[in-house]
Structure 1
Amino acid sequence: MKVFVVLVLALASASAGLLPQTAPVHPRDRISVPSINGRITNGKDAVAGQFPYQVGLSFSSSKGSWWCGGSIIGNEWVVTAAHCTDGATSVTINYGATVRTSPQFTQKVSSSDFIQHESYLSLTVRNDISLIKTPSVSFSANVNKIALPAISSSYSTYTGKTAVASGWGLTSDSATAVASHLQYTDLTVIENSVCQQTFGSLIVTSRVICVATPKGTSTCQGDSGGPLNLDGTLIGITSFGSADGCEAGAPAAFTRVTSYVDWIKANSGI
């Protein structure tokens, strides 16, 4: 019996690092609640052409609609989060927009042209990535692709690097609608071991990349699927944050693109 008790305690201790201290939540699924501090997320307004690879994605389904972000990676391909495409029947892609309601042009794509990762698992936020095959677009100053990481950078952690996240997501926990103007902010990549202290190692695997969110600066509802850009390279796709809110100061997490360059190439040729 004593051995059994010791074993149980050892398992409980080991699992403590596996399980989240704070529940992870996709920005798409976050419910707006009043913010105690009433702060905005400290984002800045983007100017025209600053993020030509950024697209706005308006998804539709029989159960409603939702807004996500995405990144152009080729003339016929957009990459976003699997939790954005999950359950959708179609998407309207907004290209070249700074003001969300004034894109350069739009395309409507049905779910038959979605390639959602075959091993996406919402419970543990695994493989949160999808591709969208689009009609071919011509690139311009306001509509262009972002580079994917080189295969040789597959082992880069990016810890300590400052990357740029962008999107039309909520600008505070108390906001009730996504932003009208494209926002961006600089965020510093942190070690996964630090992120695991909040979300556990079951959630934060090597295929996840996390950033610190000082002063309430973070991704929020509506930013799902959007880019994390480091020096012109897409290193992250907005995946999840803390259920405590965008301004809670907990890390924000992204799908680590270096872990999926082979998958992207196999499915898109890019």
Structure 2
Amino acid sequence: MSAALHPAALDALRRKVRALETQDRVTRAVLPFGVPPLDARLPGGGLALGALHEVAGGAEEALYGATAARFAAGILARAQGEVLWCRRQADLFAPSLAQAGLPPSRVIFADAGDEAGVLAAMEEGLRWPGLAGVIGEVGKLSMTASRRLQLAAEKSGQIAIAVRRWRRIADAADLGQPTASETRWRVSTLPSSPLPPSVPGVGRPRWFLELLRCKAGDAFDIELEACDAKGHLRLPAPLAYRPAGADAGQGRAVA
């Protein structure tokens, strides 16, 4: 029977693995968010291209997925080319995607009917040249399915985004299961940014964005204003002038 590793040796091994993962991603192309405190916490300074990313909504948004869908739309709005959007049901509100910078003219909708069909359509779409990326709406995402998508994304260089949404709140616990995705995000809505007293109307929507998992990086959270009509996020005004390290929440180590 082999002896257990000493805690110090185990920590050293973890650091070595983390360094190897980071080295492997140094030259990988990324899509920056354009928000310094956010990009500074991501390996390479942005969202990795040629990779699978997961996005889910917080609380009841885990069922409807509207905020997660808008966040995903804002990401690919800043990439070049059309977007393949694979969905189980035709309940996506297209004007909301346009408000996040992704007009209907850039979206190819694939109504797959069920999750198996969505995953198959995503994998096939990642083989198409010229797409900005592929988005698919799924609840359950196994290690095998996510690994297939990750490998397909690596080969094509496209961004793959799994928008996680479930039929019941209890099913959202599946978000904690391991997958092969590069990052895992959760987006929750906050009260809109306040407007000056003399200005009527409602301010820009705000989000609480959590990076729950990141290969070769740490988890953290940050409060941001939602995507604008060009897909750009923005720091709320009181946070915009803080040092980069002060805007994000406390980081948590990720195994």
TM exceeds 0.5? Answer: no
Q: TM-score, normalised by structure 1?
A: 0.28
Could you say which structure has the higher strand fraction? Answer: 1
Q: TM-score, normalised by structure 2?
A: 0.29
